[in-house]
Amino acid sequence: MLLIFDCDGVLVDSETLACQIDADILSGLGLPYTVDDITREFVGKSMKDMIARIEADHACTLPEDLSERINTALYQRFETELQPIDGVREAILALPYPRCVASSSVPERIALSLRVTGLADLFENVFSATQVAHGKPAPDLFLFAAERMGADPKDCLVIEDSTAGVQAAIAAGMRVIGFTGGSHCGPNHAQKLLQAGATALIERMEELPETILR
Active site residues: 6, 8
b/e burial code for range 97-109 (CB count within 10 A of at least 16 → b): eebbbbbbbbeeb
Half-sphere exposure of 6 (CA within 13 A, CB side): 34
The dihedral formed by the CA atoms of 141, 169, 82 and 54, expressed in degrees to the nearest 10: 70
In contact, 15 and 50? CB cutoff 8 Å: no
Distance CA 114, CA 83 (A): 10
Element containing residue 159 per DSSP (H, E): strand 156-160
Distance CA 13, CA 86 (A): 9
Element containing residue 33 per DSSP (H, E): none
Q: Among candidates 2, 16, 10, which has minimal Cα distance to 202?
A: 10
Q: Among candidates 179, 175, 199, which has minimal Cα distance to 190?
A: 179
